[in-house]
Amino acid sequence: MAMALTTSSSLFISKYSPSSSSPSPRTTPFLGFSLSASTNKPSLQSNRLFYICCQDKSSAIPAEQQWMFDDLTGPDVWNKTWYPKAKDHIPTSKTWYIVDASDKILGRLASTIAIHIRGKNLATYTPSVDMGAHVIVVNAEKVAISGKKRTQKLYRRHSGTPGGMKVETFDQLQKRIPERIIEHAVRGMLPKGRLGRSLFTHLKVYTGPDHPHEAQQPKELPIRDKRITKQT
């Protein structure tokens, strides 16, 4: 029933528009053709002309203007906000970045890494989907820190049982497990939740200059922070 109405209205348009374009000055601002065809008809059908939904687009646009509206068959790209499909974030085709942590300020480095892992530097950023890249950090034990934090910054952990808090300084942790310092910093800057935990697995930290990811052909991580290297 609805299809029959729209096809009949389109027939009327193609029949009346060439002849009645000159005498009648009443043209619609949107479609640019005259309304004289629809004044004879009940108001229900004239309302149908302006209501363009995705399926009826081809019938409501006049024949001479159809070249302006291309690709009426596919999804509406311009009116619906883009959401990534599975092929837009295939794990095997993610970019890999490498960064050397020697003499870089800890927090500023961690912030840049977290932005790239989360994907916030990309225009296709989506908060619910992992659109980010992988980051490899080498020379983790040489990361720099300003002020007296080397002896004063405390790393705490709690085992869960009463009196089970363990505290160690930055220096002690760096001697024991140097990778954990950068991991702790970046984990605090990633979102907490299921997606955040899986993003954290995209960070690879190594002591020393070697890493086992040569096959991924990592690129240099672009750092825009001017104050990230330690000023002597």
Partner 1 sequence: MNKKEVFKLAKGFRGRAKNCIRIARERVEKALQYSYRDRRNKKRDMRSLWIQRINAGTRQHGVNYGNFMHGLMKENIQLNRKVLSEISMHEPYSFKALVDVSHSAFPGNKAAAAPKKEGLAVLL
Chain residues that interact with partner 1, rule: CB under 8 A: 77-78, 81-82, 120-127
DSSP H or E run through 142: none
Tokens of 128: 């619910």
Measured over all CA atoms, what is the biggest interatomic distance in the chain, rounded to whole angstroms?
92
Please say which residue, 62 or 84, places its beta carbon nearer to partner 1. Answer: 84
| Strand partners of residue 219 | 97
Phi-psi map region of 221: left, alpha, beta (phi>0 left; psi -120 to 50 alpha): beta
Please say which residue, 64 or 88, places its beta carbon nearer to partner 1. Answer: 88
Q: Any idea which residue has 């009116």 for tokens? A: 79
Cα dihedral sign, 30-31-33-36: negative
**Minimum distance of partner 1 from residue 125's CB (angstroms):** 5
**Minimum distance of partner 1 from residue 224's CB (angstroms):** 8
Given a contact cutoff of 8 angstroms between Cβ atoms, the answer to whether 144 and 106 are in contact is yes
Please say which residue, 18 or 127, places its beta carbon nearer to partner 1. Answer: 127
**Minimum distance of partner 1 from residue 164's CB (angstroms):** 34
Please say which residue, 46 or 126, places its beta carbon nearer to partner 1. Answer: 126
DSSP state of 229: B
**Minimum distance of partner 1 from residue 124's CB (angstroms):** 5
Please say which residue, 49 or 190, places its beta carbon nearer to partner 1. Answer: 190
Tokens of 186: 């970046």
Please say which residue, 101 or 135, places its beta carbon nearer to partner 1. Answer: 135
**Minimum distance of partner 1 from residue 77's CB (angstroms):** 7
**Minimum distance of partner 1 from residue 27's CB (angstroms):** 24
Q: Any idea which residue has 């000055």 for tokens? A: 25
3-state secondary structure 166-188: EEEEHHHHHHHCCHHHHHHHHHH
